[in-house]
Amino acid sequence: KARDALASAGFVEALSRVLCNEDAAFKALSETRFVKIKNPISKEYGSLRGELLPSLLGLLSANTHNPYPQRVFEAGEVVVRGGKEGTQTKRHACAVACHSAASLTEAAAALRHLLESLGVADYALHPCGENRFMKGRQARVMIDGKAIGVIGEVHPQVLENFGLQMPCVAFEVRLDELPYA
């Protein structure tokens, strides 16, 4: 359902690897600690992603030669610390719009479309302070008082780190926290 909702909102689906290079998370100023693989075969794939946004920013970075606007999403698995075995696999959805007129309003409309498609009509956006988004242009996505995601305008330093010349807006939500995802 999440994939259908984001595709119908005008985003193109991307598929990236769960194995990743932690450098993308650093470039995205991510506060999520990625799970490192013990004795990886390659440094390029030495971690398990803990969120989707760095992968999508990397994809946009590799596609700056293509025409804008660019709107991409991914609904996929991430690996987080916790659980009996030390890690848990979770499902997230992330969408990024990258073009000269990208705005928080555009991201909020896509988020609303996704949540309504999944049967969530009552949610709230509360201000937050994540490094990867611009101050005053970001919010936590809240359902029943619980944070289930984040939305915001990507910080200029993050755009520079990825070699992106256009503004980007994004959101990422934990699908496992939603009733009908």
d(CA 78, CA 52): 7
Q: For the chain, what percent of residues have pLDDT higher than 70?
A: 96
Domains defined for the chain, CATH in brackets: 2-177 (3.30.930.10)
Strand boundaries in the chain, DSSP class E: 12-13, 19-20, 35-36, 47-48, 70-81, 87-98, 124-127, 133-143, 146-154, 168-174
d(CA 167, CA 101): 7
d(CA 141, CA 163): 28
pLDDT tens-digit series, residues 99-154: 999 999 999 999 999 999 999 989 999 999 999 999 999 999 999 999 999 999 99
Average pLDDT on 24-42 reads 74
| Half-sphere exposure at residue 107, Cβ-oriented, CA atoms within 13 angstroms | 33
Residue with tokens 């760095």: 54
Average pLDDT on 24-39 reads 73
Q: What is the pLDDT of residue 180?
A: 63
d(CA 57, CA 61): 6
Give yes or no for residue 58 having a pLDDT over 70: yes
pLDDT tens-digit series, residues 4-17: 999 999 999 999 98
Mean pLDDT of the chain: 91
pTM of the full structure: 0.91
Comparing 42 with 158, which gets the higher pLDDT?
158
Q: What is the pLDDT of residue 81?
A: 80
